[in-house]
A and B are shown apart, each in its own frame.
Chain A
Amino acid sequence: MIEERRLEAALRRAGGALPLPANGPASILRRARDEGLAPLEDDGVEPPRFGHRRLILAATAAVIVVGLSIAIPLATSSTTPTATASGLTPLPGHSSASASAGVPAASDAGGSIGAEQRAAVGGPVAPAGSSAAPAGPRTPALIASSGTLTLRVGAGSVAQDAHDLAVLAERAGGYVASASLLSAASPPSGSVVVEIPAKAFTSAISAAERLGTLRSLATSNADETTTSSNLVGELQALDDVRAQLEVLLGRTAKVSDLLAVENQIQAVETQIDQLQAAQRALGSEITYARLTVDLDTSQPSRTEVSRHGFALAWHDATTGFLGGVRYLVSISGDVVFALLLLVAAVAILALILRELLPRLRRRLL
């Protein structure tokens, strides 16, 4: 390795010894005069020249990516039912009859329960894990859920299990709607009806299952969106009618007309009250899911599998694991798409910067 000082000295000597062209500067001056060189009209800074082809390619790719990222969500949102929670819309001037209504989970709680099969009963059933189709493009789905759970419990534990169900309901934010215990009967049995907030329905079912041996479970999800929308529409219409009647009331001159209009108004208000009551009831059905738990103490069948302790824990663990896997698979599509967009955006940005940065550095001289 040559020492820097020595190299510098040698190179300066070597370069300095080079003779200069005799007419070098003169030829430059002559050429400047001949060409009539003058500064450019602009500030004289040469604009950076990009690789035009690369720039066009990068710009086109960016437009495509941006367009897709806008278009695809718009396209999918118009076909995918929304699952946002929303209460019933109260009419102005009327008392609110709504609370936030959650969208309960699907009917099937998963897992095998031996001989008995799970069945979906009841009215219109929404697809598992999703809400029903909204009544309009922007109307969130309103789902009324219910379920019937049959548990095998010990003969002497009917009362205790009923109490546990009540505690479970209260912890979930619900309440016991009714309870019927036949402890003296042979065999003893009981039935407890609890109202659980819709968003806690699934977890409440899982918790209730642990109180005994699951014999059967049936859930249903009824889409009440249309019903709710119809109620709102009818109430609005009746309110408009009442408003018109009140205007008419102010214009009546005769007593007979006055009485007739008042009767009409009273009839309309009665209808409004009835519809409001229906609206409140529907709101309650959507806000709270009804779970009927039947406590059965009869002897288990030979083919039925009894789960307690570790077996029950294992069952819960595998159920939970499979549920988690299902969730990950369901969101993987969105995640992969988002990652692809991100990679494309980063690649385009890197390409553009690779073209720009060297030229910017030179311009900063």
Chain B
Amino acid sequence: MKKSRAPKLGIGLLVLGYAFALYWVFTRSTPVVSSRPITIRIAHWQIEKGPPDGIDAIIKRYEELNPRVKVEQVLVPESVYRQWVRSNLTGGTGSDLIEYGVWLDGLTDIPARYFEPITDEMMRPNPYNRGTKLEHVAWVNTFTDGLALQRLNAPDPGQFYAVTLTELSERLFCNRDLLRTITGSDRTPHTFAELRVLFRQVAAYAARTGRPVHAMAGARDNASWLMQFLLQGAMMESSQRNDRYGVLAVYAWDELGLYLDGRWSYRSPEARAGLTLMREVSLSMKPGFVQSTRDAATQEFLRGDAVFIFAGTWDGTSIRSQATFPIDVLRFPQPTKDDPVMGPYFYGRFADGGGGTAMEFYLNKQSPHPKEAIDFMHFMTSVEGNQLFTDHSGWLPSVREVRVPPSIAAYLTPLDCYTFGAEYMTLGSSVNSAVLRNFYLLAGSQGSVDQFVDAMEAEMPEAVRTDLRKEVSNRAIIVRPQDVAIMAKAALSRRAPQDASLLLARERLESSQTQSEALMLQMGRQLERAGPAK
């Protein structure tokens, strides 16, 4: 009797389980078919604590206002983001809105190939700002920085491509308890000279107590951000001198050309000064930090093994929500005019983050719902939408008139510093790769400025040429199809003369094409004059 009951029991359980699964799928899980006719997707790599919640809050409110549209947030780990973006865009399966950054290695052709300019929309007010102070302000001017950084990096200088969600800066996060334990005070350093004193105090404390604590949490990412910051500051006078166009900025393509003209190099005394400061800081990090990523530095700081961590405010929410100790947020203490290393090249306070906005979202040319995608871009960068982002992410807003919560007021960068935009590391993917590859030569007890400089100067001639050629070819990707677009707009405008927007679009395209083409020819000339790398 017992033998015949067991199979029946098993079958019964199987049937029960199947029935339960059916019930769950059809009543509790996400619908297989959305009840909303349009779905748009927004993809990004900012899966650290903060932004996903911010975007979720935007989506929730947007869907309330737009019942026809469903918005899906696609979170892609940073480690695979580049491959994910390229393979999806090539395969025609990319999200409607895609986060992109010019520093993403190996993707410099992506904007030109796959992203649609939104210049016309940028010249008009954001409809979601109705009833606010920004109601009649052109969309571009509603951003706290006027989209300055995005403009610097736009593939086509006459066009706008992206909206931004946040203002970024870089800050020193300080473990107040640990600082007090080591120094007897919670006074944070105000100058680089005071920071040097602190480095010595921490080293002495570690030696005395045997506790493995360092002044700065170390990882390749954090160290490279800091190096970029220090180099920019050290090279400020050089950047000003090399600003031949007089635009108070130096674009990456121009910096590459200036290198070929011999107007700067890592051998210059000011570059060496910046690298020397970086080496000083690297000696206050744990040995072997170059092998670690930023998560390791964050963990080191949260464990209480480092007094400071230099991080972008993009890590602020993660760090502050997980810390078990009070954290002070301060601007990195800069060298002064009498600094023994940087004093001779001191130009003035330089931007720690530049006050520029970031977390750039671009419109995929292949989006099946461009109108809805742009509408979502409008909402997320409206006063209401961006306020939701800030309140739920703990990140700064990118839009004016959005209230900044007191808890993150320290992230704001006042307009009290030089921002030249001149990057001496992320000029292009080849130069950036060379810097990161050789970084270990600068850092740690075995490293030196000379070793790093020698290695870089050996690689730079070829790396710069490669990156400048990429700049030319990226612009060609944009410029070539513009001939077709211009003809099409001209033909359509003739057939519909009452539609003034077609004529305006053609005129603007002709103008921006001429600008890009001229740039291509200039860069081509530069490459030709420089000849092959020796």
**A interacts with B:** no
- Give B residues with C-beta under 8 Å from A: none
- Give A residues with C-beta under 8 Å from B: none
